[in-house]
Amino acid sequence: MGFFDPKEVNTWLKARVPSGATMESGFSEMAMLLALEASGAYYPIRYVGIRPSASYLFSPKAFSVNGEYTTYYLHSLAPGLSVDLAYDEGKLPRFFISPGIAYQWAWFEGYEATGLGLTLAMGAELSFGAARSKGVSVALVFRSANLDVSTKPSSYSDRNPVINHLDFSSVLLCVGFQLGL
């Protein structure tokens, strides 16, 4: 879970609130990004590994204006590949930094975008068990992915302001569980 600010989407959401209307609950901007990720790592060298991953990024937005409840959803699927650089001296914690790339498919209210994004994860894992194959990890994950919209809704001319980018640039706090083989 983390913070992001998709500026064009937030401008579009603000335009959905009629002028003079009173917000009864919530606020019109998307600010929270949820992420679910599955990954595996192979370490051919003790301190260097390769990590393929698949992420689902999701931001819900719900608010009530003049008694009318409205919901919107911003989604992205992002398969990626990163290089794990780990510092492990055989003690309980293991520290890592993991730069990588991800190809993202994103969609929001009929707008679709695809493109490459960058990721950088930094954190620590507490491993135990045979060959340290089980454990818990905590990481800060930085994403940079401001994707150009490739498909607009068929009635996009009446949807002002127009969205030209779906931005998933974010800072996430991730907690992971490691199940080794």
User: What per-residue confidence (pLDDT) applies to 181?
Assistant: 57
CA angle in degrees (0–180, nearest 5) for 91-92-93: 100
Residue 175 CB neighbours (<10 A):
10
We find that the CATH architecture of domain 2-179 is Beta Barrel (2.40)
User: What per-residue confidence (pLDDT) applies to 16?
Assistant: 78
Are 56 and 105 a contacting pair, CB within 8 Å?
no
User: What per-residue confidence (pLDDT) applies to 77?
Assistant: 97
Q: What is the DSSP letter of 161?
A: S
Parse the chain into domains and list their residue ranges. 2-179
User: What per-residue confidence (pLDDT) applies to 71?
Assistant: 86
Confidence (pTM): 0.83
**Tokens (6 digits) for 83:** 């290089």
Are 93 and 141 a contacting pair, CB within 8 Å?
no
User: What per-residue confidence (pLDDT) applies to 21?
Assistant: 67
User: What per-residue confidence (pLDDT) applies to 90?
Assistant: 66
Q: What span, in angstroms and rounded, lies between the C-alpha atoms of 71 and 20? A: 20
pLDDT average per 10 residues of sequence, the chain (181 residues): 91 79 70 92 88 94 79 94 86 85 94 95 80 79 93 70 90 84 57
Nearest to 12 by CA among 79, 61, 77, 54: 61
